[in-house]
Amino acid sequence: MKKTMYAILIALLPITTSYAQSLSQVVVASSGATISGASNTLSFTAGEATVGTISSGDSLAQGFWLGAIVEITLSNEDFTLEVQTTAYPNPVTDYLNLNFNELAGQDFEVTLYNTNGKQVFRKELKNSSTNETLDFQSYSTGMYVLNILQRVTNKSKTIKIIKQ
């Protein structure tokens, strides 16, 4: 009887090991992306651990994608509004000057917020000139946030303004 039992166990052993648990790389993630460059493509999810090695001069064996690849340009966004729009004098006492340089003639929306986030001023500048002036005489002393929105591109610039 023992010999028969051992023979059955030895015969069933290969069958049971073929149904053993297998581990595979599975990621459940809420976000991710694929970045393609001239010569490489990188697919990832937020917080996904790497398995294996990523190499391109530098090497990453175990860890996270964050910071693994450097010097990849993800966008080539146009920051013309950032460079060409200035507000002076800051701190301001009576009048704040806005200078649009080469962006004159375009439509802007200027919005001023107090430190509580309440909108205290809003003005649409249609076909703006090179310089616009905002009257700050009626505002109390403190800090304000000025948001300048360029209508055509929907790009904006935010400037911290101090009223003395």
Domains of the chain plus CATH, in order, are: 27-76 (no CATH), 80-163 (2.60.40.3080)
The list of the chain residues with pLDDT below 70 reads 9, 12-32, 44-83
The length of the chain, given as a count of residues? 164
CB 121 within 8 A of CB 132: no
Pairing of strands 58-60, 41-45: unpaired
> Quick one: tokens of 93?
């006492």
For 1, 29, 32, 54, 64, the CA distances from 45, given in Å and listed in that order, are 57, 6, 4, 15, 10
The owner of tokens 């809420």 is 30
In the chain, % helix, strand, coil (3-state, to 5) comes to: 15, 40, 45
CA distance 33 to 5: 56
How many Å apart are CA 1 and CA 6, to the nearest integer? 9
pLDDT digits (tens, 9 = 90+) for 96-108: 999 888 787 888 8
pLDDT in tens, 124-147: 988 888 888 999 999 999 999 999
pTM for the model stands at 0.51
